[in-house]
Amino acid sequence: MQFFGGSEISPSPPAPTASGNNGHMLYVFNRNGICLLYREWNRPLHTLNAQQDHKLMFGLLFSLKSLTAKMDPTSAEKGNLGVPQLPGQGCSFHSFRTNTYKLSFMESPSGIKIILVTHPRTGDLRDSLKYIYNLYVEYVVKNPLYTPGSPIRSELFNTTLDQYVRGIA
Amino acid sequence: MAPVAPRTGDAIFANIERVNAELFTLTYGAIVRQLLTDLEEVDEVNKQLDQMGYNIGIRLIDEFLAKSNVSRCVDFRETADVIAKVGFKMFLGVTASVTNWDAEGTTCSIILEDNPLVDFVELPDNYQGLYYCNILSGVIRGALDMVSMKAEVTWLRDALRGDDVFELQVKLLKQVPEEYPYKDDE
């Protein structure tokens, strides 16, 4: 899904010259809309406070998912826009691109949502998000002292994540 | 194309890091033993095992989803199948079968012929009410809860009580729709 034509639009930031500096930020939400993790690497402009920002992001994903499912031309049965969907119903989106950034999105059936915002010219990040989900399992879920649903405070997870994102975007 | 979801957990089981089966079985046994000592009442132990299983299940589901490539199931039948064929294989190394569906497709039985938890175990007379493997029903309940299915899981047959197999009845109570978690005025 693309809101604006991808590459010809200007002004657009220069194409990524070397990898390593094109990840902007990453969010991890759980099924209750709680922001478990927010990492930021390159985000000069902050207009909202953190809490509002997280809520806005979650709201955007929620509505966009509902919209994409509603517009699905291949499925005969779909609910009304805004009506909650049962798990397993409806399609979802993988990413959207604007002239200045690309947002990639993954949701597990258990409701973990991973959002990565990168340079608009980054390629398909679906496998990368999946890998980040695996990192989340290894470093967070398997930690017996981590309380499910609470914000993640794990140095090891953060470091690994920073390294990995630097490697892909 | 979405990756094809596995029909069995064999491949994942082969790639997963494993511990010695005896260590696993005996560790579980030590936990049950300690609970019997601490709680004294067999019913309390059953409850506690179920709760411990639930707490495991709500975490286990993410590992399961991350490693198995299973995406959303279309219906509860598929869900039960995936639990029995992929889930049990992945985490216990055994395969279970699914039978006894009711007409609505909301209740079924998961049959476990081989159960690594009960090696070495015999129920003595004073613990006849104990559901030794009650942790398993909790795990399934917790994992299903995290994919928005409220379920009731009960033991119908228990080999430790003289039946020929272990039979877990899984009853889907309701599927919870995804809702916007914030209130408008927040």
- Check which CATH number belongs to the domain holding B152 and give it: 3.30.1380.20
Residue of A nearest to B146 (CA): A110
Within 10 angstroms of residue A87's Cβ, the number of other Cβ atoms is: 19
Chain B hits for A33, CB-CB cut-off 8 Å, are 180-182
Residue B6, domain member (yes or no): no
Q: How many domains does chain B have?
A: 1
Minimum Cα–Cα distance from A56: chain B residue: B182
- The pLDDT of A9-28, averaged and rounded, is 63
Confidence at residue A73, expressed as pLDDT on a 0 to 100 scale: 81
Within 13 A of A129's CA, how many CA atoms are on the CB side? 23
CB-based contact B59 A109, cutoff 8 Å = no
What residue ranges of chain B have pLDDT lower than 50? Answer: 1-2
What pLDDT score does A13 carry? Answer: 43
Task: Give the ipTM.
Answer: 0.85
**B31-37, long-range: CB < 8 A, 24+ apart:** B32/B130, B32/B132, B36/B127, B36/B130
- Residue B82 lies inside a defined structural domain of this protein: yes
pLDDT of residue B1: 40
Overall average pLDDT of the A29-45 stretch: 89
Average pLDDT, chain A: 81
pLDDT at residue number A3: 41
Chain A with chain B: Cβ pairs closer than 8 A: 74
Q: Which domain holds residue B116?
A: 19-175
Residue B51 lies in a domain: yes
* CATH 3.30.450.70 given to domain A23-42+50-69+88-167: yes
Residue A80 confidence (pLDDT)? 60
Across the interface, whether the CB atoms of A110 and B147 are under 8 A apart is answered yes
pLDDT tens figures, A85-103 = 665 566 778 999 999 999 9
Torsion over CA of B64, B68, B74 and B78, rounded to 10 degrees?
A: -80
Q: Would you state the pLDDT for residue B70?
A: 81
Asked whether residue A77 carries a pLDDT value surpassing 70, the answer given is: no
Q: B60: which residues sit within 8 A by CB, 6+ positions away?
A: B91, B139, B142, B143
> What are the chain A neighbours of B146 within 8 Å (beta carbons)?
31, 110-111
Domain assignment of residue B26, yes or no = yes
Q: What is the per-residue pLDDT for B5?
A: 60
B149 found inside a domain: yes
Element (H, E) at A67: helix A50-71
- Give the pLDDT of residue B69: 81
CA–CA distance, B59 with B53 (Å, rounded to integer): 10
Altogether, the residues listed in chain B come to a count of 186
Q: Identify residues of A whose CB sits under 8 angstroms from chain B CBs.
A: 31-33, 55, 58-59, 62, 84-88, 108-112, 130, 133-134, 136-137, 141-142, 148
Could you tell me the pLDDT band of residue A17, with boundaries at 50, 70 and 90?
A: very low
The whole-number pLDDT of residue A81 equals: 60
Inter-chain residue contact A111 with B178, CB threshold 8 Å: yes
Contact A48, A145 (CB under 8 A): no
